[in-house]
Amino acid sequence: MSSFVKIRRDLHQIPELGFQEFKTQRYVLSYLQTLPEARLEIKLWETGIFVKVKGTEPKKIIGYRTDIDGLPIVEETGLEFHSKHATEMHACGHDFHMSIALGVLTHFVHHPIKDDLLFIFQPAEEGPGGAEPMLKTDIMKEWMPDMILALHIAPEYPVGSIAIREGLLFANTSELFIDLKGKGGHAAYPHQTNDMIIAACSLVTQLQSIISRNVDPLDSAVITIGKITSGTVQNIIAEKARLEGTIRTLSVESMDKVKKRIEEIVKGIEVGYQCETKIDFGAMYYQVYNEAKLTKEFMEFVDRNTDVKVIECNEAMTGEDFGYMLKEIPGFMFWLGVESEYGLHHSKLNPNEQAIDTAINMICQYIEYKGNA
């Protein structure tokens, strides 16, 4: 087993939610302490880490970002190295992302290139978002990269492949929290109450009509309600309901339109079901938009110089706060094929670990080329 597969397995066992990645931060720091320190500069921000690997004759800084947080999922993989945390899991591959970042970082500590490299270990990608606040730090202002790259594992593509496109890769996202408050009461006297379970069910159905009736069929949008909380027991009419979800759109303009329509529909629920309502759009992520020139060059480089297959893919409705970094810094993100039967955010996600060394080798070759130019 390669040392970076071992690191992935160690990290897989300690998934932590956004801004609570204390063990993860300690693990990464203790690994960094095993490397020769002459070329390293390390700065902490919240639960994240900035690591500069100094080049020999730096003219620019090349940035590489990995996310570090896990998800609130009870793991069901049955793997020997399964999560030690009962209710958290690395079900979005951030354990892979971190081990690959450490693999690339280690290579350049031992084989320095001309340019400086900045590795960003970013908390809270799954929410509420660490990229935007990290960008605003003095550390980032001092070490602002001239270009940046990142990857995300893709269960649907084979090991030995990457998928990427110029321009829009991932959607704009916004979280969505809606609270409803009516009047509870006895299950046998519904006429004396305003039942918030009925209101919530109607609201969920009406929200889907935004996608089918308000969004241009040639555009695309998603509203997913992933969680509903309501009620206390089977014979009490519920006084409150809370819906938690996410909105995805292919443009900022469509996001604004969808949000406006949600507000109108929720107003209708308020009148129709005689209840109080509250909408909170939570955290929003800017789209992931790959800079055309660098993306094209990367695709051609990988195709010509490595065995990795380059697939030109469509946009996806996933979100990534790396979009904020790409808004400020030219660069790109790509999907890394890891062929898992179960997909992202699934309790049985089991990516193929062979992809770790494939990714490290490919990224090292590309950075060596860019950083010695």
Query: Mind giving me the DSSP string for 227-244?
Result: EEEE-SSTTEE-SEEEEE
66 vs 174, beta carbon nearer ligand L5K734KM: 174
Binding site for ligand L5K734KM (CB under 6 A): 92, 126-127, 152, 173-175, 246, 283, 285, 318-320, 344
Look up residue 147 and give its two tokens.
Answer: 């270009």
Q: Which residue has the tokens 């400086």?
A: 116
How far apart, in whole angstroms, are the C-alpha atoms of residue 321 and residue 231?
34
Cα dihedral 146/152/156/159 (nearest 10): 80
* CB of residue 357 to ligand L5K734KM, shortest distance in Å: 23
Q: Specify the amino acid at residue 15.
A: P
For 4, 49, 109, 291, the CA distances from 364, given in Å and listed in that order, are 14, 20, 12, 20
* CB of residue 173 to ligand L5K734KM, shortest distance in Å: 4
Whether 243 contacts 230, CB under 8 Å: no
Verify cis geometry, omega within 30 degrees of 0, for the bond prior to 128: yes
Of 225, 370, 241, the closest CA to residue 297 belongs to 370
119 vs 285, beta carbon nearer ligand L5K734KM: 285
* CB of residue 42 to ligand L5K734KM, shortest distance in Å: 27
225 vs 283, beta carbon nearer ligand L5K734KM: 283
**How many CB atoms neighbour CB 111 within 10 A?**
9
99 vs 246, beta carbon nearer ligand L5K734KM: 246
61 vs 171, beta carbon nearer ligand L5K734KM: 171
* CB of residue 233 to ligand L5K734KM, shortest distance in Å: 30
* CB of residue 341 to ligand L5K734KM, shortest distance in Å: 18
State the catalytic residue, choosing from 21, 126, 175, 339: 126
29 vs 344, beta carbon nearer ligand L5K734KM: 344
Helix axes 196-213, 252-272, angle to 10 degrees: 150
Strand, coil or helix: what is 136? coil
Look up residue 7 and give its two tokens.
Answer: 């690191």
* CB of residue 329 to ligand L5K734KM, shortest distance in Å: 19
Please confirm, yes or no, whether 270 is among the known catalytic residues: no
φ/ψ of 235, rounded to 5, equals -115, 30
Please confirm, yes or no, whether 166 is among the known catalytic residues: no
Residues with catalytic function: 67, 126
